[in-house]
Structure 1
């Protein structure tokens, strides 16, 4: 019995030191989404104002009753079309970028030939790098009870996910193969 105890202690020490030496390091990179930053700007003061040149109309043509092949400009309809175009609200929604630095989208509203509203939303992405340590060789010790009066003890090791187990009891020696999920 003394021989088995010394042999078990030696196996435990060897397994401990070999297990400490066989560690695999992996670098894991993942991107974590940050908090979205939003803002809306509604009051704009122009930086530069240019003097207008010629007024541009939205021309509306009608066909002359006398000369059917010559179109004539309808002044009233042209003025109404120009005013409707000037009063029209135009909205623009653009995604400027969506990559590893984050996501930026712009919403613009134009009316009366001026920028009325500018909204943006920026969601940053943060890069997280972690080093994961995985043991390649893992020794283990086991003690089990078969009945109230019989015990067994043993040990073994795992190499990656496959393991070998040896167990001694008063009824004999048992050997097994294990798989870690």
Structure 2
């Protein structure tokens, strides 16, 4: 009986050792599986984090570009609006304020003051006159600028030459006035 008992005990011990080895193998397999799964999950999490960070980075850059473009558009619109305002103001100013320039020809009798000459002689004064108009109405009296003087007997009035003389005299001012100064020429009679 002792042998039977020893045999049964040996079989039990062997079965126990076999079961323990089998469980240890299963536990080791499960541990490896858990380790592999954990590593895969960690990789997936890292990939997911990378993908999310990349997406956030890409979208942030896209939004920055959009904001930059909107700011540039805002600056462009402001500049265009400013230029339009300046142009409208200039046009309004041109229409409201005008300096009209006309040729000026005046005959005057001037007293001769000389040792051998007495009496008067007729002198022709050539120049231009200008007047400020506000909204089409004269604002100030006309002012005359005399450019040249000639004796009447030595000079024949030529309106084209006078217009040319005035245009030459005030030409630079006329060009820089932006249309506020308007030169009105006279035709030859």
Same fold (TM over 0.5): no
Question: Which protein, 1 or 2, shows the higher relative CO under an 8 Å CA cutoff with sep ≥ 6?
Answer: 1
The answer to which structure has the higher strand fraction is 1
Q: Which has the larger radius of gyration?
A: 2
Q: TM-score, normalised by structure 1?
A: 0.28
TM-score (norm 2): 0.28
